[in-house]
């Protein structure tokens, strides 16, 4: 009897967690939409850190990102591509300069490894090369809306010192690509947007707008390079300095293409490890109120009401899948593989969660990067 009551409580809280975070995530664009009041469109330097690996996939992603940035409608901005690992950078440098050099895109190479995080090496070099006070750090694997800079700039005022945006995966071309979209669109983006809606905002490294002076007064980039969560570390640095962080109402899109299962699992183990370190209550809630735990609790609780354990568990999973799928559809993602990818995601999530619970380092671009300090 006690076990069934406890199961009913967990089941109810899990569905409340799902419903509450979904509603808040759907309300976030309404809270952050830009108004009619004007704002100063100051010059911006867009810093694009990129890896020196010049694989066909990385070349395609980099070209797509730069093309979307060059298509942005904004009166005055420059683009600086910053390449890490200087000893292997010539092919990337030549490719970017050949295709985009005549369109004003500048390139630079990280002089040395200044932190365990290779991305910070490139960002730091790009920051030194930037001509403007306003800096937008933008990953080399996303596509942005033509009004992206306007929607970021509108919020950078008062005590708001950093503006970021959520990311949604698109264009998956195999099952593991759809699995990546399921993690990004149905779980991470929901929690990310919901947090911003209720005032618990956090930056996502895909796109980060900040003023150079405020970044430097808060301690600069190098402290954020000490672990694998440079965006979460940067959020903490800004908040400790008294600033606030918000998300734009316009998300960025990340074309996914074909992925390997191991790459998807490694990425989301790293992201879970970051949440364990920087938002531990969220990390606990993700494990306790996950779909699998809710389904088990629903199965046990259903026995108390003569519904049947199978109906209780399957019904819970079906409802959770439906809500997640509808949320992703609201943001333009729907595919034949979505239900299957969702099911695989939930089977993998609890093992990933426990792995992240005990993780001390992760491998990122070939370097071991610490999770815990």
pLDDT digits (tens, 9 = 90+) for 195-235: 999 999 999 989 999 999 999 988 888 777 666 788 888 89
- Three-class DSSP category at 78: strand
pLDDT digits (tens, 9 = 90+) for 157-182: 889 999 999 999 999 999 999 999 99
Give the closest residue to 201 by CA, choosing from 154, 234, 157.
234
Q: Is the pLDDT of residue 103 over 80?
A: no
Quote the pLDDT of residue 102: 67
Domains and CATH numbers, the chain: 2-25+277-360 (no CATH), 42-260 (3.90.550.10)
Quote the pLDDT of residue 315: 92
Long-range contacts of 271-274 (CB under 8 A, 24+ apart): 271/188, 272/352, 272/353, 272/355, 272/356, 273/228, 273/229, 273/356, 273/359, 273/362, 273/371, 274/228, 274/229, 274/232, 274/371
What is the rounded CA–CA span in Å between residue 121 and residue 85? 9
Give the closest residue to 120 by CA, choosing from 45, 226, 276, 214.
226
Q: Is the pLDDT of residue 86 over 60?
A: no
Q: Is the pLDDT of residue 89 over 70?
A: no
pLDDT digits (tens, 9 = 90+) for 228-260: 788 888 899 899 989 999 999 999 999 999 999
Quote the pLDDT of residue 338: 86
Quote the pLDDT of residue 372: 61
Q: How confident is the model at residue 121 (pLDDT cuts 50, 70, 90)?
A: confident
Q: Is the pLDDT of residue 137 over 90?
A: yes
Quote the pLDDT of residue 111: 73
Q: How confident is the model at residue 367 (pLDDT cuts 50, 70, 90)?
A: low
Q: How confident is the model at residue 364 (pLDDT cuts 50, 70, 90)?
A: low
pLDDT > 70 in the chain, percent: 91
What contacts 276, CB < 8 A, 6 or more positions away? 283, 356, 357, 359, 371
Burial of 34: CB neighbours in 10 Å, binned 0-12, 13-18, 19+? middle
What is the rounded CA–CA span in Å between residue 211 and residue 44? 9
Quick check: 342 and 334 in contact, CB under 8 A?
Answer: no
DSSP code string of 79-147: EEEEES-GGG-HHHHHHHHHHHGGGTEEEEE--S--SS-HHHHHHHHHHHH--SSEEEEE-TT-B--TT
Report the relative pairing of strands 160-164 and 207-211 from DSSP bridges: antiparallel
Better pLDDT: 189 or 120: 189
Which whole number is the average pLDDT over 16-34? 93
């Amino acid at each position: 009897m006690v076990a069934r009551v406890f199961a009913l409580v967990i089941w109810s809280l899990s569905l409340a967690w799902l419903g509450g975070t979904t509603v808040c995530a759907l309300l976030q664009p309404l809270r952050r939409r830009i108004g009619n009041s004007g704002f100063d469109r100051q010059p911006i330097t867009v810093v694009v850190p990129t890896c020196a690996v010049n694989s066909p996939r990385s070349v395609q992603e980099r070209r797509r990102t730069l093309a979307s940035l060059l298509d942005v409608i904004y009166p005055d901005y420059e683009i600086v591509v910053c390449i890490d690992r200087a000893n292997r950078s010539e092919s990337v440098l030549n490719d970017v300069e050949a295709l985009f050099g005549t369109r004003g895109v500048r390139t630079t190479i990280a002089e040395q490894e200044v932190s365990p995080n290779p991305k910070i090496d490139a960002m730091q070099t790009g920051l030194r090369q930037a001509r403007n006070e306003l800096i937008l750090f933008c990953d080399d694997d996303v596509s942005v809306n033509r009004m992206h800079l306007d929607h970021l700039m509108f919020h950078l005022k008062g005590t708001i010192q950093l503006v970021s945006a959520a990311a949604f995966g698109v264009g998956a071309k195999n099952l593991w690509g759809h699995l990546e979209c399921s993690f990004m669109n149905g779980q991470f983006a929901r929690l990310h947007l919901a947090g911003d809606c209720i005032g618990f905002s956090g930056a996502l490294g895909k796109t980060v707008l900040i003023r150079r002076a405020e970044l430097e007064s808060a301690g600069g980039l190098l402290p954020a390079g000490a672990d694998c969560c440079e965006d979460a570390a940067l959020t903490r640095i800004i908040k400790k300095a008294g600033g606030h962080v918000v998300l734009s109402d316009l998300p960025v899109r990340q074309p996914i293409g074909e992925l390997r299962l191991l790459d998807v699992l490694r990425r989301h183990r790293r992201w879970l490890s970051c949440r364990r370190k920087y938002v531990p209550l969220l990390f606990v809630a993700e494990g306790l109120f996950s779909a699998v735990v809710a389904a088990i609790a629903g199965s046990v609780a259903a026995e108390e009401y003569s519904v049947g354990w199978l109906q209780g568990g399957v019904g819970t999973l079906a409802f959770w899948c439906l809500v997640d799928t509808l949320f992703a559809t609201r943001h333009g993602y729907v595919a034949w593989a979505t239900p299957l990818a969702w099911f695989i995601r939930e089977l993998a999530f609890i093992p990933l969660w426990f792995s992240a619970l005990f993780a001390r380092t992760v491998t990122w671009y070939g370097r071991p990067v610490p999770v815990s300090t």
